[in-house]
Amino acid sequence: MVPVAGGRIYARSNGASTEGRAPLVMAHGGPGSAHATFLPALKLAEERQVILYDQLDCGRSDNPNDPANWTVPRFVDEVEAIRAAFGLERFHFLGASWGGTIALEYGARRPKELAGLILQGPLISTKIWIDDANRLVANLPAHVRAVLAEGERTGVRGEAYDRAVAAFYASYNRLERPPGYVRDYQAKLPIRFNTALYNHMWGPSEFICTGTLKTYDGEPLLKRITAPTLVLCGQYDEAPPATGARFARQLRKGRLEVVPRAAHGIQTDQPDTYVAVLHKALARFEAGLA
């Protein structure tokens, strides 16, 4: 349990890094999710230290449930707390979805300890995210689009609306059920998903933002990142490959990789491919390549 502003956050370390192989720290999405979906990446612990952690009010971390803690800078400060607690002299950092926001902000601080950065299906700009989401919704069947539109027009979101949202998620969030060991692990978490945190910072669904992130725009930060960076997207990602390419072009040392047959949850849609992609990316970083 690592002390941070507002409480303590849970972190687990697997494996040990050998010469030339820096640890990998991974930040989950949400806001409000937990580290469980990253369990497939622990195969990398055969070659290096892998650190997974839960943000405050998530998973196994303390749960003060105080909205005063729910700010971007405070969540970014958690990364430095993790680094200090484990004595990391050099490390790679991956952030997925909302965790990508944390990774972007941390990378833009240009910490000397950062060896490489992975922005996985990242939330870089809320406006861009919503524009992409609207395009993805437009590709759904007409009856699903109609239900979503009616729910947004009236503010009434019942079972039919929930089914329509589920159709969106099934197309762009996760294509496959997580492996059984991930589901079993998730079921034992004290907080599997913090809906209050999600609603406060984001809103009622992936394609509607009414929370504190509504005006977030981190795109100008991309040019400030000096670490080699991979933008990683699934073929059917909520953060689409075309948008990932836009972000990668703005990085000093950036490139894009797209995982076939995966949506936003690449790590559970295609776990073996995910591990292989991370292995290659970390090796490239350590060879001085993006």
List active site positions: 97, 237, 264
Count of residues in the chain: 290
Element (H or E) spanning 173, and its range? none
Q: What is the C-alpha separation between 252 and 133, in angstroms, rounded?
A: 27
Q: Both tokens of residue 59?
A: 């998973």
- Across the chain, the runs of DSSP E, i.e. the strands, are 2-4, 7-9, 11-14, 24-27, 50-53, 91-96, 114-120, 229-234, 254-259
Neighbours of 79 (CB within 10 A): 26
Q: Pick from 149, 169, 191: which is nearest to 10 by CA? A: 191
